[in-house]
Amino acid sequence: MKRSLLVVAAFTAALSGCTWLKTLGKKDNVEPPTPLTEFSPTLQIDRVWSEGIGKGGGLSGARMVPNVTDGKMYAASIDGTIEAIDAASGHTIWQKHFGTRHGWWWRRTENSTRWSGGPVAQGDMLVVGGLDGQVQALSTQDGAERWNVQLTSEVIAPPAIGNGVVVVRTNDGRLVGLDASDGSRKWIVDQAVPALSLRGNAAPLIVNGVVYDGFDNGKVIAIGLADGKEMWVQSLSSGEGRTEVERLSDVDGALVADGTALYAAGYRGQVAALALDTGRPLWQRDLSSYVGAAVSGNTVVVVDAEGNVWAFDRETGVNLWKQDKLKYRWLSAPAIHGDSVVVGDSEGFVHWLSLSEGKFAARERISKKAIEGAPLVVDGTLYIEDVKGHISAYRAR
């Protein structure tokens, strides 16, 4: 019984960012990462710059991802740092610390903020969420504070901004719409949270005045951005089983909209293409994922819970290829970089795979720390961050 409780406790902690499970070791029956194999690169990758931002997401389980808008990168850290960086050169434009200063250095106190969701910028406004439920709006020009609101639970997914509304997902199953001008609440949507769930939340996605998001009960919902009115609900995972672990059914990964379809994947569930207007499944395939999907052209790419990378036909869901040589390497969500699929792994490696065949094209390493946040591609440059706040920018020849 003690052994069973240990396994459940370890598994529960592992789901908190999958951090514990990576370090349990062979004696706990955790599969070791698949050793990397040598290959002849078919893609030339250049590192443009590399920079450190505070302490990154650390062990919080927040999949920290920078945001690039109008030539500027914005990044936040668990130690209360927010920084604006020139996206082309990596040079700091401004930096702000939400902590207590001691001489020339900063440290966290009980009154300082631990950033964990975002940041996200639109126009001249930057929004970031914290582990203690704070949502802070700043000026993109100099970091000047605009408004701050307190929500009911931690924010570990990037907010979304659209049509004068800031949409925030909290860890207690709530989706909140805030007025972008002053942070006042416009609407709130609740979804039931199971007793046990994965560590992580899907970031809200705004498309044509509709907000889409996934929840810990295995459902994807669509609501009106203006009023929070529910438009449709679709289940990706049934959550069946005798134990809480067997009933895990989170939809925590990235949702992607392309044309008239929404692509989403659930843990112990399915990857599916859903009609944007009705939620009707266009196609579904059994596949368990907690990091989500990426779409390019006629291809949908998904990383499953074991670290296999899959490609499906966007229209039909037919499997195009599978790359299994990164199994058990705890991959990030995929991103599309030119003609390649990019994923980061638990040892700080960045892998480029051919989008057409899934073969290895290139490999770089930003550090020896895990990469949990999705790679970001803007104007041909790929930006990627590890859990300690190391950010690198790459371009492909």
Which of 190, 206, 238 lies at the terminal end of a domain, its last residue? 190
Same domain, 83 and 11: no
Q: Token match 């779409």: residue?
A: 295
Q: Are residues 23 and 117 in the same domain?
A: no
Determine the Cα angle at 51 with ends 48 and 55, to 5°. 150
**Is residue 78 situated within a structural domain?**
yes
| Residue 230: strand pairing partners | 223
Owning domain of residue 95 = 64-190
Does 106 share its domain with 1? Answer: no
Let me know if residue 345 belongs to a domain: no
Mean pLDDT of successive 10-residue segments in the chain (397 residues)? 34 41 44 94 97 88 92 95 96 87 46 85 96 96 96 95 97 96 97 80 96 93 97 84 74 91 92 96 94 95 96 97 97 97 98 98 97 96 97 96
pLDDT for position 374: 95
The domain spanning residue 100 has which CATH number? 2.40.128.630
Which of 154, 172, 190 finishes a domain?
190
Q: Is residue 295 part of a domain?
A: no
Provide the pLDDT for residue 61: 82
Spell out a b/e string for 355-390, using b for 16 or more CB atoms within 10 Å of the CB, else e: beebebbbbbebbebbbbbbbbbeeebbbbbbbbbb
In a domain, 116, yes or no: yes
**pLDDT value, residue 107:** 52
Bond prior to 66 in cis (omega within 30° of 0): no
Domain endpoint, select from 141, 170, 190: 190
Burial level of 9, CB count in 10 A (0-12/13-18/19+)?
exposed
- 121 and 164 in a single domain? The answer is yes
**pTM, entire model:** 0.88
Distances (CA, A) of 100 to 92, 127, 265, 298: 21, 21, 41, 50
Q: Are residues 15 and 71 in the same domain?
A: no
How many structural domains comprise the chain? 2
**What pLDDT sits at residue 19?**
38
Residue 397 lies in a domain: no
What is the Cα–Cα distance from 223 to 164, expressed in whole angstroms?
16
Q: What's the rounded Cα separation, in Å, for the pair 347 and 194?
A: 31
For residue 142, the model assigns a pLDDT of 95
Domain annotation covers residue 272: no
pLDDT at 239: 66
SS3 15: helix
Place of tokens 């499953």: 304
Q: Is residue 71 part of a domain?
A: yes
Flag whether 87 is in a domain.
yes
Same domain, residue pair 74 and 182: yes
Of 48, 100, 104, 95, the closest CA to residue 76 belongs to 95
Number of residues that make up the chain: 397
